[in-house]
Structure 1
């Protein structure tokens, strides 16, 4: 049986290409998922060219689909279960995933929406937790119209924070108030100090966000979509204690994924889909993401059309 996939290829115009890959060989603690939908992230675009993945390695992390082989050790969802997962090499028709990084998706949540949860949802959830209680605090979310940003706005608002959503243009700010933002701003000029920053842009904006932190505040760096360096002026790190923390999703994520699914099912977490199409349209999807034309998540539908 063929297993089509999108693999890294730095020399390709899109930096990834279709390929035939081997069927998964799961360990006893892995399930095999037939992937129906996958989410394209900025991290996938970076993985395709950064050298973190070798040319020919399968890209992708966010997937939703159906379990076609249950874990041999009895862990994880049963055969036939609808699931969402954080995968290694997720852009393939069939993928083996650790059973503790999979969550069941109830019938009343579309798998298209579930596919948008893992990378961005986990980053938003875990960085907010790392920043401590948000109740009554001022939380700044940069890149607020993107995947992590839209989740961070909603989760911070639900936790009782005063949420400031920073975007690059008025157009990109549309709908963020409805998601829970108390303020929607273009740029950071004129803002009062904040207690927590969920930062995904990098570059000069991150430098400016650092200067806005109140004593005891924390900046959680979850991305760097600008691709620009961040340069701190002299003595910017001298003074009242505040912190900058890097972020990477590590360890089992099944429980946190289940929490995100539960919030989505309850209507307390909205997955904004800004682009959706067949994975044969990967060139269009990557261009839209690179050009910052996607407000929310970019979702690929995995079919047999990839050639």
Structure 2
């Protein structure tokens, strides 16, 4: 089968080549992949894999072989899938607990952008506890996780403050439900109940000082690539607060079903900022890694000619 394989000599380590067809276990379906979505983490981690490895967390497509144990959807079902590997290929074997059925009304391209970013935002928001009527800060709000977090927090009734790196990165966030869009945190003067942090570094340190008593930070990402230093400033006063290192929890299936339902109802938007055929994978990776994309990157798995890795 064709797949985006790791080639250390190719731009961003990606090359459209050949890989063995996957062999599903009894509790897995075999999916013909129609669309994939890139995530920063998997792109940054490519060098940790051997040449020829097929990475890929997020993919959507059509079930071509149902699970032998009778679990999961039948052949012909449209699905969005998650796995820690193997998504960047024409065929994917995926656990039936790690997928959700996608109705015909939904384009599989945007659906492929749901798993890691959408489920991470959903689970992190739950980690803040009830947010109705409370102030919630989302840092790195222009990225994939951030845009989902803004939408889901606003939908849950929070007063959402979306923090971005530049005015241009904040465009469109009020339309997603942000009550305030700020560049950095200098203009956030009132305490917040919760923080969904995608940036880390000094900004995470500053976010701690904004927490109200009993406040919670869900620390998801480290987009700043800088260390976070906490000192006596963060312990001043009589506040109690929690800083939790967030890790998304599997299985994804139930949460994917929630997100697919919201997408079908028009209550969330995957915010696809770049879409093209997977022959342009290196271009897409460059755009995402260099912060040129607001939201998600989606690649359509085409049936065009194979581009050699040689």
The TM-score range, normalised by the shorter chain, is over 0.9
Task: Answer yes or no: is 1:110 the counterpart of 2:107.
Answer: yes
Aligned equivalents of 1:188, 1:10: Cα separation in 2? 39
1:195-216 deviation line (CA, Å, top 9, x unaligned): 1111111222222112211221
Checking the alignment, whether the CA contact within 8 Å between 2:209 and 2:233 is kept in structure 1 is no
Q: Which residue of 2 aligns with 1:251?
A: 250
1:153-183 deviation line (CA, Å, top 9, x unaligned): 1110111100001111111111111110000
Change (3 A) 1:34 1:154: same
For 1:58-69, list aligned pairs within 5 A. 58-69=54-65
For 1:8-47, list aligned pairs within 5 A. 8-10=6-8, 12-47=10-45
RMSD of the alignment, in Å? 1.6
The one of 125, 137, 141 equivalent to 2:138 is 141
Checking the alignment, whether the CA contact within 8 Å between 2:5 and 2:18 is kept in structure 1 is no
1:48-99 deviation line (CA, Å, top 9, x unaligned): 13x3x44432111111100011000111111010110112320111010000
Equivalent residues, number: 303
Aligned equivalents of 2:219, 2:9: Cα separation in 1? 29
SS in 1 for 2:12: coil
How far the C-alpha of 1:234 sits from its partner, in A, is: 4.0
For 1:151-166, list aligned pairs within 5 A. 151-166=148-163
Change (3 A) 1:155 1:36: same
1:108-155 deviation line (CA, Å, top 9, x unaligned): 111111011111100010010111111111100111111111111111
SS in 2 for 1:45: helix
Task: Answer yes or no: is 1:89 the counterpart of 2:86.
Answer: yes
Checking the alignment, whether the CA contact within 8 Å between 1:8 and 1:47 is kept in structure 2 is no
Checking the alignment, whether the CA contact within 8 Å between 2:19 and 2:52 is kept in structure 1 is no
Q: Which moved more, 1:72-81 or 1:40-49?
A: 40-49
Q: Which residue of 2 aligns with 1:217?
A: 215
Aligned equivalents of 1:13, 1:112: Cα separation in 2? 24
Checking the alignment, whether the CA contact within 8 Å between 1:37 and 1:115 is kept in structure 2 is yes
Q: Compute the TM-score of the two structures, normalised by the length of structure 1.
A: 0.94
For 1:1-307, list aligned pairs within 5 A. 3-10=1-8, 12-49=10-47, 51=48, 53-87=49-83, 88-191=85-188, 192-234=190-232, 236-237=234-235, 240-305=239-304, 306-307=306-307
How far the C-alpha of 1:37 sits from its partner, in A, is: 0.4
Aligned equivalents of 1:7, 1:160: Cα separation in 2? 43
1:257-276 deviation line (CA, Å, top 9, x unaligned): 01000001101111111000
How far the C-alpha of 1:19 sits from its partner, in A, is: 3.3
Q: Which moved more, 1:167-176 or 1:119-128?
A: 167-176
How far the C-alpha of 1:226 sits from its partner, in A, is: 2.0
Give ranges in structure 1 of 5+ residues lacking alignment. Answer: none
Q: Compute the TM-score of the two structures, normalised by the length of structure 2.
A: 0.93
1:227-282 deviation line (CA, Å, top 9, x unaligned): 22222234535653211112222321111101000001101111111000111111
Aligned equivalents of 2:226, 2:4: Cα separation in 1? 27
Change (3 A) 1:27 1:284: same
